[in-house]
Chains A and B, each alone.
Chain A
Amino acid sequence: MYLASIHVTLKKSVLDPQGVTVKGALESLGFRTVSDVRVGKYFQVSLGAESEEAARAMVLDMCKKLLANPVIEQFDFDLEPGGAAK
Chain B
Amino acid sequence: MKWGVVVFPGSNCDRDTLWALGDELAQDASFIWHQEKSVEGYDAIVLPGGFSYGDYLRTGAIARFSPVMEAVEEFAQRGGLVLGICNGFQILLEAGLLPGAMLRNSSLQFRCHFLHIRVENEKTPFTLACKKGEVLRVPIAHNEGNYYADDATISSLAANGQIVFRYCDEHGAVTPEANPNGSMDSIAGICNEAGNVLGMMPHPERCSEAVLSSSDGAKIFRSAIKFWERG
List residues of chain A with CB under 8 Å of any chain B CB: 10, 13-15, 17-18, 21, 66-67, 69, 71-72
Chain B contact-residue range equals 20 to 34
Could you tell me which residues of chain B, from 130 to 154, have a CB within 8 Å of some CB in chain A?
146, 148-150
Considering the complex, give the chain A residue whose CB is closest to the CB of B146: A17
Is residue B219 within 8 Å, beta carbon to beta carbon, of the partner chain?
A: no
Complex CA gap A38/B61 in Å reads 21
Do A71 and B101 touch (CB < 8 A)? yes
Given contacts A14-B148, A17-B103, A17-B146, contact A66 B57 (CB under 8 A): yes
Q: Which of B25-33, B104-112, B187-195, B210-218 contacts A (4 or more CB under 8 A)?
A: B104-112
Considering the complex, give the chain A residue whose CB is closest to the CB of B62: A66
- Other A-B pairs, 20, CB within 8 Å; known A13-B150, A66-B65: A10-B103, A14-B103, A15-B182, A17-B104, A17-B105, A17-B106, A17-B108, A17-B146, A17-B182, A66-B57, A67-B57, A69-B58, A69-B61, A69-B94, A69-B101, A71-B99, A71-B100, A71-B101, A72-B103, A72-B148
Chain B residues with CB under 8 Å of A13's CB are 150
Closest 4 interchain pairs by CB? A71-B101, A72-B101, A17-B106, A69-B101
Complex CA gap A66/B53 in Å reads 14
Chain B residues with CB under 8 Å of A71's CB are 93, 99-101, 148-150
Chain B residues with CB under 8 Å of A69's CB are 58, 61, 94, 101
Considering the complex, give the chain A residue whose CB is closest to the CB of B181: A17
Complex CA gap A9/B135 in Å reads 37
A18, A21, A66: most-surrounded residue (chain B CB, <10 A)? A66
Do A18 and B104 touch (CB < 8 A)? yes
A-B contact pairs, 22 of them (CB 8 A): A10-B103, A13-B150, A14-B103, A15-B103, A15-B106, A15-B182, A17-B103, A17-B106, A17-B107, A17-B108, A17-B146, A66-B65, A69-B58, A69-B61, A69-B101, A71-B93, A71-B99, A71-B100, A71-B101, A71-B150, A72-B101, A72-B103
B148 to chain A, nearest CB (A): 6
